[in-house]
Structure 1
Amino acid sequence: MSRTIAITGATGFAGRHAVAELLAQGHRLKALVRRPDRAGLSSAVELVQGDLHDDAALDRLVKDADAVVHLAGAITALELHGYFRVNAHGTLALAEAAVRAGTRRFVHVSSLSAREPQLSPYGASKRAGEDTIMRLSDKLNAVVIRPPAVYGPGDKGTLPLIKELTRPIAAIPGPRDARFSLIHGGDLARIIAAAVNGTEQGIHEVSDGQPGGYGWPDLIRVAEAMRQKPIRAVYLPRMVPMAVALGAEALSRLSGKPGMVNRGKVAELYHRDWVSRAGALSLSDPVTFEAGYPETVAWYREAGWLPAGPRADRTAQNSRT
């Protein structure tokens, strides 16, 4: 059934996947964007100029919408307030607009980091956003989706990790025994679309369904199969990335521009359990890392984000296509 869906975060990596999936299913989309001239979205998407702190824009966004998909969020900030301003207060403003409009479904895409809010300002702010939605859950018919690390073609967030896996010596910023879940961007979009049409409420952790998640050796084996050469993993002591984070934070304060490297992110990387707990939202045919990694590397190389690989690497990729 075709619905009118209001969406935030449509211009981000996960958002673009969600937009493509929802349009493919015949839904009408209204997207909140700061710069319509730079949105780069399909002409089929109605653009609403504004942000999460503009109540008038939020009211325009959710007007006549059957459902809201909330993907927007701050992944970097100079201080705690910066995270909470977007991930908590912005989420509350959108939720209140949806309540005023009588929206019948609210899909809030959070983060698995919200499960451990003590680790980072980002995780704490995402948990606060979830708490807001849960308080209004009955009025919103809301469901909260907690994805783990999201990867795939076009994603800059996981590019540094993928880049390490293409090298003969991979520097791993995390403990050797860590376990974690992953999800391909296209799969997250399918889960979001299913949630729009579903009736589930509460908080649901999602993943590609890999039992027990992955360990670093699992990712190394997949990368080695593509390279057809061994890869040596070097597990960095926590003090190494922590020192880098301290320097990066100092530079961010001087420039006034937040960066991706900070102490909170390091704390998340060195947490040993990021395995999603199976819930009601899952896919019968998910993209595993074994299939998603070669696709992602090939896209990065074609886009010039990674250098061309060795011949054995390219041959392995071609054998999968």
Structure 2
Amino acid sequence: MSVLSPDEAANVRTILPRPTPARIIAITGATGFVGTETLEQLLAADFSVRALTRRPQQERDSVIWVEGALDRPETLDELVTGADVVLHIAGVVNALDRAGFAAGNISGTQNVIAAMEKAGVNRLIHISSLAARNRDLSNYCWSKALAEDAVLASSLASTIIRPPAIYGPRDTEFSELLRIARYGVLPVPAIGRASLLHVRDLARLLVKLCGNEGDKYIGALWEVDDGTPGGLSHKELAAAFGRAFGKKIRALPVPSAAIMGIAGLDRFIRKQGAKLTPDRARYMCFPDWVANTARTPPADFWAATITPDIGLAEIAAPFRQ
């Protein structure tokens, strides 16, 4: 974990936000899967929030909705002005080509940084991905790595969080897997292990970082997960799905070549509507998406509380009815 020295941190904190109860948090991606849960927890912790949204939202106490987007810098100026902390969650997880990932993840992050520097807002919490470890693997990985590079090259007091696969209520990715798994089989890449993290645990970490105590971790780059040693193999994930459903679910290993072939076919048939792109297939077939335990937050600051068995049982409940 890379953290500023006490002297460096002391210098940065002279321009850091006011005490926790009075802090105003600006958040991108507030209407997405992670952002929705994070917004709820921020409000429960009595923060005031300025939230970016593409579409009009229902008015809420302690929330100022700012209509805009990452590619509209003037709206980012409005979003961050007067904020104490910026929580940058928004990004692109699927795109047709490198340009799409660059626009959503690299340029979007650069625009947030520029708006903060213009407004004199110094504290940034940037949500990245384990994908950033492997910038040459796919366009998605490349874009997440370059977004991190932009944050690290800035003058901001930043903390970077790399989550693994995130799941929980309202998640479409795991819901799709559950729809398949309820029939007793789960198609998975032939080899690989991955860490998981429930969205409520991730949001709890982000909210803690927005407070005074989080200022101690300026300069940190953390890989976070649910604490399962070594993550889960695909066979173990299928077994966990089985426990969530209360029945045996068999992992069906699919060779990488077959996954790439299916991705190419999906791209050919559905074109811009393709869900399994070749870029995403390369990401899926990579064998190691396990969080690095040397980069985890201090246990006395944050630790996950929701195990896969608890979290998967929760999201599987609607499919058992």
TM range (shorter): 0.7 to 0.9
Counterpart of 1:276? 291
Alpha-carbon offset, residue 258 of structure 1: 4.5
Contact 2:193/2:287 (CA < 8 Å) preserved in 1? Answer: yes
TM-score normalised by L of structure 2 = 0.86
Q: 1:248 to 1:119 in 2, by over 3 A?
A: same
Partner letter of residue 229 of structure 2?
P
TM-score normalised by L of structure 1 = 0.86
Gaps of 5+ in 2: 1-19
Q: Does 1:175 align with 2:195?
A: no
Counterpart of 1:230? 248
Distance 1:94 1:236 in 2: 40
Distance 2:313 2:60 in 1: 27
Contact 2:239/2:250 (CA < 8 Å) preserved in 1? Answer: no
**Residue correspondence of structure 1 range 87-236 to structure 2 within 5 A:** 87-136=105-154, 139-172=155-188, 174-176=189-191, 178-197=192-211, 198=214, 199-200=216-217, 201-236=219-254
Q: 54, 61, 78: which one pairs with 1:34?
A: 54
Gaps of 5+ in 1: 310-321
Alpha-carbon offset, residue 40 of structure 1: 5.5
Q: Share of identical aligned residues, percent? A: 33
Alpha-carbon offset, residue 167 of structure 1: 2.4
Partner letter of residue 111 of structure 2?
A
Partner letter of residue 194 of structure 1?
K
Contact 1:76/1:259 (CA < 8 Å) preserved in 2? Answer: no
- Secondary structure in structure 2 of the residue aligned to 1:157: helix
User: What root-mean-square deviation, in Å, do the aligned CA atoms of Structure 1 and Structure 2 show?
Assistant: 1.8
- Secondary structure in structure 2 of the residue aligned to 1:158: helix
**Residue correspondence of structure 1 range 228-267 to structure 2 within 5 A:** 228-253=246-271, 257-267=272-282
Distance 1:216 1:288 in 2: 16
Alpha-carbon offset, residue 119 of structure 1: 1.6
Contact 1:179/1:214 (CA < 8 Å) preserved in 2? Answer: yes
Distance 1:40 1:165 in 2: 36
Alpha-carbon offset, residue 21 of structure 1: 0.9
CA-to-partner distance for each residue in 1:140-197, whole Å, 9 max, x for gaps? 110110000000111002222233332212222x124x11100001011011112222
> How many residues matched?
293
Contact 1:248/1:262 (CA < 8 Å) preserved in 2? Answer: yes
Q: 36, 44, 58: which one pairs with 1:24?
A: 44
Structure 1 window deviating more from structure 2 (21-30 vs 271-280): it is: 271-280
Q: 300, 313, 318: which one pairs with 1:294?
A: 313
